[in-house]
Structure 1
Amino acid sequence: MTNGDSDAETMHAMTYDRFGGPEVLSATRQPLPKVGPGEVLVRVRCAAVNPVDWKIMAGGLQGMMDTVFPVVPGWDVAGVVERVGIDAPEFSVGDEVMAYARKDYVHGGTFAEFVSVPVRCLARRPSTLSWQQAAGLPLAGLTAYQTLTRLGTREGETVLIHNAAGGVGSLGVQIALALGARVIGTASPANHDRLRALGAEPVAYGDGLTERIRAVAPEGADVVADFVGGVLDTTLSVLADGGRHASIADNTVLEKGGQWMWVRPSGDDLAVLAGWADEGRVSVRVADVFPLARLADAFELSRSGHVHGKIIVTP
């Protein structure tokens, strides 16, 4: 897999052996991941940064998921199948794939030369997306897709997306349109032209937001997807009779009849997004690209909160 007999079963990876900020990341050599039944080994072409990566590194999910140090962070990947497990007939060596490669515990992630991925997480890379774009689609795309489909978004409905210019929100706009909905998106005025280009009707944040939404949708929104948090009052004030709402950032929606979303790995759902990408309905904006050794810088950029598009890392 790598040069030299002594390196044949190891790989370059970024790891951390304690919780903390980007300073705990180190460039290391790690054993090549084992490939269990129902898994494939993927040679990483690109991996994408998501805020959950550095939040986990800071210990933010200790109460939810077990951690086995040293950790290779990262859940998003696009790459080529290198080995196939004994119960993975769906894929062959050489297949180009992408995945939201979250496992049941935190350990072997995607910021490395290789990653083992359960078949249930995998989909084939759309020919219309670059490696960078394909790596940026899974987690954000699945978050938006599963939110909108679990809310039962139907053709002809009006969908309101909070933070429509963000990484999840911009994909949510495209997915809602692919589902046949009309889309209204909240965003700062600087992002309104971009939202119009995606096909959404932009509405500015700030005082008077409810009135501005009602001005363009007097009957209210049938579906509201909150991809930012802190907007429950606005959601309830513009929700149509019989409307449905969900949030990925505010669990208090449960007290008001909404759903609190946590994205689930699904190769089947990802294949739907891949199909829409090939039809030109879904695309991914790439903001910046870093080499693997500069993962700490990529995390710092993500933490800044001022990124319009996906941050990509290449081994």
Structure 2
Amino acid sequence: MRPKAIAFATYGGPEVLQITNTDIPEPDPDQVRVAVRAAGVNPYDWKVRSGAMAAAVPLELPYVPGLELAGTVDAVGDGVGALSVGDEVSGPAQHAYASYVVADAARLMRRPATLDAERAGALPVAAEAAHRALAELDVMVGETVLIHGAAGAVGTLATQFALDRGARVIGTAGGAGLSRVTELGAEAVGHGEGVAERVRDIAPHGVDAVLDTSGAEVLALSAELTGDPARVLTLADPQGAQRHGVRFSSAGPGRDHTAPALEQALALHERGTLSLPLHATYPLDQAAEAHRTGEAGRLTGKLVLTTG
């Protein structure tokens, strides 16, 4: 059976995602080929598919989306010494919606048998964003950090990473997310109208830093709570960041925190405390449905595609 991939040949809605036959790729000297078991689905994927990023990120069509995976090393490049055929790995990789993908060997981590492939495949992008944001905010031991959207995938990891740094974490969420935030060891606060007052009730002197993963019009009140817009960072609201004079962070050259992020996540896993919620998993050929679910919002965790 020929390997498969999900690709779009034109920009549009989820229906433009189509399953297609592909050739088995060959790794460059510093790469490995991975037989994919799981691939994370991220907002970036449906933004590029829709054409919303066409001007900023021109693509050669047809294009196979996907930024992260977990799977089994199937072949190694001549210059790779740290990984071998048969190793279970996870990490960032382009065009991950496929049966086989080539990836830079240096950016992959070995997946422990105790970490299931679905969560391992959903981990790299969210972990990198969470780690990068906390590093750019320079969160220190003993500081109080407010994380908006603390029950989501990035927020959940940012909460765990901040607690692991020795910070006090207040996390906003709604519904069942409130108990999830509490279970992580943070102090949960309901989001929405009146959130600033609820935060002040438990942190009367304000907070030292704020991370917004929600994009829910919280930047002005966040700057008030810190008294310092430089210690407010959003991963989800670049226009709001510009309006309110706070910081926006996105992945880019020289800003990649994948290695330390996966190292910290793996350390938490080894201690038995790593939590990464999954909203749903879909077979690879149902990628369009995964995109529909993602674009509808109200996710309780990551979306994942599986190949078998």
Does TM, scored on the shorter chain, surpass 0.5? yes
Cα distance 1:256–1:37, how it changes in 2: closer, same or farther (>3 A)?
Answer: farther
CA distance in 2: counterparts of 1:242 and 1:298, whole angstroms = 36
Aligned residue for 1:262?
Answer: 250
Q: 8 Å contact 1:13–1:112 — kept in the other structure?
A: yes
Which of 66, 70, 78 is residue 78 of structure 1 equivalent to? 70
Q: CA RMSD in A?
A: 1.9
| Higher share in strand | 1
Q: Deviations for 1:269-305, whole angstroms, at most 9, x for unmatched residues? A: 3223222222223221222221111111111111111
Q: 8 Å contact 2:131–2:257 — kept in the other structure?
A: no
Task: Identify unmatched segments of 5+ residues in structure 2.
Answer: none
Amino acid at match of 2:250: W
Aligned residue for 1:234?
Answer: 221
CA distance in 2: counterparts of 1:297 and 1:117, whole angstroms = 26
1:26 paired to 2:18: yes
Which of 135, 156, 171 is residue 149 of structure 1 equivalent to? 135
Aligned residue for 1:61?
Answer: 53
Amino acid at match of 1:114: Y
Give 1:242 deviation, angstroms. 9.0
CA distance in 2: counterparts of 1:66 and 1:34, whole angstroms = 25
Q: 8 Å contact 1:120–1:265 — kept in the other structure?
A: no
Aligned residue for 1:245?
Answer: 232
Equivalent pairs: percent with the same residue?
A: 38
Task: Identify unmatched segments of 5+ residues in structure 1.
Answer: 103-108
Aligned residue for 1:221?
Answer: 207
1:278 paired to 2:264: no
Cα distance 1:214–1:18, how it changes in 2: closer, same or farther (>3 A)?
Answer: same
Give 1:205 deviation, angstroms. 1.8
What TM-score, normalized by structure 1, do the two folds share? 0.89
Give 1:64 deviation, angstroms. 2.8
Q: Deviations for 1:96-127, whole angstroms, at most 9, x for unmatched residues? A: 1111224xxxxxx1111111111243122144
CA distance in 1: counterparts of 2:80 and 2:96, whole angstroms = 20
What SS class does the counterpart of residue 156 from structure 2 fall into?
helix
Number of residue-to-residue matches in the alignment: 301
1:299 paired to 2:291: yes
Q: 8 Å contact 2:223–2:246 — kept in the other structure?
A: no
Aligned residue for 2:170?
Answer: 184
Which of 198, 215, 229 is residue 184 of structure 2 equivalent to? 198
Amino acid at match of 1:227: T
Q: 8 Å contact 1:160–1:185 — kept in the other structure?
A: yes
1:129 paired to 2:115: yes
Q: 8 Å contact 2:124–2:258 — kept in the other structure?
A: no
Displaced runs of 4+ in structure 1, greater than 3 A? 240-243, 254-258
Amino acid at match of 2:247: Q
1:169 paired to 2:161: no
Amino acid at match of 1:214: R
CA distance in 2: counterparts of 1:269 and 1:36, whole angstroms = 25
Q: Deviations for 1:211-241, whole angstroms, at most 9, x for unmatched residues? A: 1111111121112101122211111111156
Give 1:158 deviation, angstroms. 0.6
CA distance in 1: counterparts of 2:57 and 2:107, whole angstroms = 18
Q: 8 Å contact 1:129–1:283 — kept in the other structure?
A: no
What TM-score, normalized by structure 2, do the two folds share? 0.91
